[in-house]
Chains A and B, each alone.
Chain A
Amino acid sequence: MAEETTTPAIQLPDATKLVVSNSPHIRGNETISKVMVQVLLALLPAAIAAVWFFGLAALKVMVLCTVGCIAVEEIWNKCTKRATTWKDGSAAITGLLLAMNLSSGTPWWICILGCLLAIILGKQLFGGLGFNPFNPALVARVALLIGFPSLMTSWVAPTPGNLTVCDAMTGATPLGAQGEAVASLADLFSGNVGGCLGETSALALLLGGAFLIVRKLIKWQVPAAFIGTVVVISGLVHAINPEITQTPIYHVLAGGLLIGAFFMATDMVTSPMTAKGALIFGCGCGLITSVIRIWGGYPEGVSFSILFMNALTPLIDRYTIGKPFGYIRVKKEAA
């Protein structure tokens, strides 16, 4: 007797396995680590440029700082019995940014000290990712600069394409010399000049910065306002008396302005959240940078300005709270 083919029974969900939670029930696929990986990618051109101009010594500093920061963060997590966090990528970014702020001739122990300062003093003491008021890499840089001023301001001369050379020939920093240019604009643009690993090649930084803006990882208002303000102020001062300071284009290309404007000031955690706040923040950074560069004694305009504005971020956030949809515009209409 042939059995009739039966249609399989209709299966219904097992109600006991259904999860009940609040809406929305679907989410975009963005994660913190994806954001951070993209920022690391944006730093890649600058990292490659650094190796090209300063050789494997630059790579050594970058690896040391990146691995160092991750290690310090994990050791801290272990000691304070916190969950592991290195996978979110923020420690790696801090490390790489720190390296970008050091010269290729930096001794290894300065690098490690920098990692400790950045991760513990700059980040974990405040509660870790998201809670630090200051950019951790900049905290480390400034702390090192104050502690070891001569080590931190002696630059290795570039040796483009020659990877193994690492003789510590020091030269004047382009902005340190008043009035006279120590490097050509072409060298400044390509990066063929002594300085920190990450601040020399304007080209590489612009590439990375463009990537960040296109991918909406940073607010364009920050670099635009930052660089714009420096250009305006240095342009005015230069026009009045060229003896006092360099041309605006020199101000943009030399020193840490570009890396500061695209990679340090734009740090999400320590900069304002709204577009309006970002504009104010960027202008503030530009103003302080200009003042320090033109009239100040330290060659540290960018770092100081960002740290100072970091401190103002909560205030800026507080006073740039906009009116929500349906608030004031309707009132105006009625009036």
Chain B
Amino acid sequence: MSDKPRKFKGGVHPNDSKALSAAKAVQDAPLLDSYNVIVHQNIGAPPEVIVKKGDTVKKGDLLAKASGFVSVPLHAPTSGTVSALEKCPGPTCISVPSITITADGEDAWGDCMEPISDWQNADPAALKQRVADAGIVGMGGAGFPSHVKLSPNKPIDTLILNGAECEPYLTADHRLMLEEAEKVVLGAAILARILGLNGATIGVENNKPDAIEELNKIAGKYNVKVQGLRVNYPQGAEKQLIYALTGREVPIGGLPMDAGCVVQNVASAAAVTDAVINGRPLIERITTVTGEPLVNPGNWRFRLGTPISKALELAGGIKTQPAKLLLGGPMMGFAQNSLDVTVMKNTSGILLIPVETASQYTSEPCIRCGRCVEVCPMDILPATISQAVENERFDWSAQLNVMACIECGSCSYVCPSHRPLNQHFKRAKAEIAAARRKEQKK
């Protein structure tokens, strides 16, 4: 691995707006009267609920168990009673099953998992099982079960921790690396042991020099390397990160393991430390609550199931009515229409976008300026694909490699005609997937 990070091709550099919350230390959100824990918080199969209404649970007790390999268990965020098993608003604006815990106020831990303090000599398989049992997923936003990534069926020679945090506004990972550097680095070392590797690399964008410094203080102890990255969106996209750090390209449709890499988010690594060293499952996470309309943006540690309305209250409420409420960052986050959605394992940010900057434009014809082609990190032709989709030529869009699109939104960001490029790609991908399913059925 060379010392000079290579640049990935393309990308954009939006105003990062991180100053709103970057200097705000993480605060623990106060205990609430009740939590609405959404059952399905990971990519893959939803876990199977094992509690019923009226059950009493302790903090960290199992609420739902993994229902397959690509599935993770769910744990109680506090002690109390299961008061309802109903549906509540989900992150995609559709109601989803949730478990309501009415807190007893004691916040007492249940019989948790046994700490594995001697992790250096522990069996890698046992450590991996622990990661699975703790319900750890990709906390950068994807929510992919971490233990699945730790079970590659191809040779792995590189472990990368993703601390790029390239989305504007978000500072949760930044604060985590700054305040709990040891936890992150230790997590990297444990993950490396699981994979049978000697060491890991943490990639951090160069706009977080304080975090890089903190990590560097202890990184050497665990044979972990901290690598500064060019500040450019989408530097934190898995494939772009791998390329910047190793010069390898993950094949289209492939996974990091096809390039000999495993990538884990820094927050997931910190959760691994908690699970292994402290025997604690994933029941809370650091989330940035930010946006210009807020009175007091900042970073908080929320229990899973905390309603967004409570998070916004902690941030002092609003000065002006925002145009949008997002889960995640402004480039890839999901717009919400309810304040009752709750914090999940992958909720990296709760963001209010003011009316002035919200992208509400009427789309104009493509003038073929080629800016989208220039910024596309996957080297495809957004403008041409978009026109193919408008003409419902999905086969042609597939030939133009729309399936390689990572939906980072860079093309939409730069388009002077404000074309809905990202929407077009999502539609094309859905249509192509549907057509392929149909083909398979025949």
A→B interface (CB under 8 Å): 10-15, 17-28, 30-32, 34-35, 88, 90, 127-131, 219, 268-271, 273-274, 317, 321-327, 329-331
Contacts and interface: CB of A to CB of B under 8 A. Distances in A.
Given A35-B369, A131-B365, A327-B252, A25 B330 contact: yes
Contact of B413 (A26, A127, A269): A26
Interface string B377-412: 111110110000000000000001100100101001
B384 A273 contact: yes
A28 B414 contact: yes
A129 B419 CA distance: 14
Max count, chain B CB within 10 A of own CB: residue among A10, A13, A25: A25
A27 B375 CA distance: 13
Nearest to A273: B370
Nearest to A20: B335
Interface in B168-201: 168
B404 A23 contact: no
16 contacts: A13-B318, A13-B322, A23-B331, A25-B330, A26-B353, A31-B416, A35-B367, A90-B367, A130-B366, A131-B365, A268-B367, A274-B381, A317-B384, A324-B379, A325-B379, A326-B378
B333 A18 contact: no
A296 to B, nearest CB: 29
Contact of A15 (B330, B338, B368): B338
A105 B383 CA distance: 42
Interface in B301-360: 309, 312-313, 316-318, 321-326, 330-339, 352-353, 357-360
A219 B368 CA distance: 12
B383 to A, nearest CB: 6
Closest 9 CB pairs of A and B: A130-B365, A24-B409, A10-B317, A273-B370, A27-B359, A30-B416, A326-B249, A20-B335, A26-B330
B333 A23 contact: yes
B6 interface: no
Contact of B358 (A26, A324, A327): A26
Interface of B: 8-9, 12, 14, 93, 168, 239, 243, 248-252, 254, 258-259, 293, 309, 312-313, 316-318, 321-326, 330-339, 352-353, 357-361, 364-371, 373, 377-381, 383-384, 400-401, 404, 407, 409, 412-418, 420, 422-423, 426
Contacts of B352: 13
Contact of A269 (B312, B335, B368): B368
Contacts of A321: 381, 384, 400
B93 A20 contact: yes
B359 A24 contact: yes
A12 B360 contact: no
Nearest to A30: B416
Max count, chain B CB within 10 A of own CB: residue among A22, A129, A322: A22
A27 B316 contact: no
A128 B365 contact: yes
A273 B252 contact: no
A32 B400 contact: no
Contacts of B423: 22
Contact of A28 (B14, B333, B339, B367): B14
A92 to B, nearest CB: 14
A135 to B, nearest CB: 12
Contacts of B14: 26, 28
A218 to B, nearest CB: 9
B36 to A, nearest CB: 16
Max count, chain A CB within 10 A of own CB: residue among B293, B339, B360, B368: B368
A326 B251 contact: yes
A248 to B, nearest CB: 30
A19 B378 CA distance: 29
A326 B367 contact: no
B249 A330 contact: yes
Contacts, number: 184
Given A24-B359, A131-B365, A269-B367, A326 B326 contact: no
A32 B367 contact: yes
Given A15-B339, A24-B413, A32-B367, A325 B322 contact: no
B364 A32 contact: yes
A13 B320 CA distance: 8
Nearest to B372: A273
Contacts of A18: 322-325, 335-337
Contact of A11 (B168, B239, B317, B338): B317
Nearest to B309: A12
Contacts of A329: 249
Nearest to B377: A325
Given A27-B359, A268-B367, A325 B378 contact: yes
B359 A13 contact: no
Contacts of A12: 309, 312-313, 317-318, 339
A31 to B, nearest CB: 5
Given A130-B366, A324-B380, A330-B251, A35 B321 contact: no
Nearest to B387: A130
A20 B89 CA distance: 14
A133 to B, nearest CB: 11
B363 to A, nearest CB: 11
A327 B381 CA distance: 14
Given A88-B364, A274-B381, A324-B380, A13 B293 contact: yes
A271 B369 CA distance: 9
B323 A19 contact: yes
A317 B385 CA distance: 12
Given A13-B325, A14-B321, A326-B254, A25 B333 contact: yes
Contacts of A219: 370
Contacts of B312: 12-13
Max count, chain B CB within 10 A of own CB: residue among A19, A127, A129, A325: A325
Contacts of A323: 379
Contacts of B365: 127-131
A301 B7 CA distance: 42
A329 B239 CA distance: 14
A321 B399 CA distance: 10
B197 to A, nearest CB: 21
Contact of A24 (B317, B332, B367, B380): B332
B129 to A, nearest CB: 32
Contacts of B337: 15, 18, 20
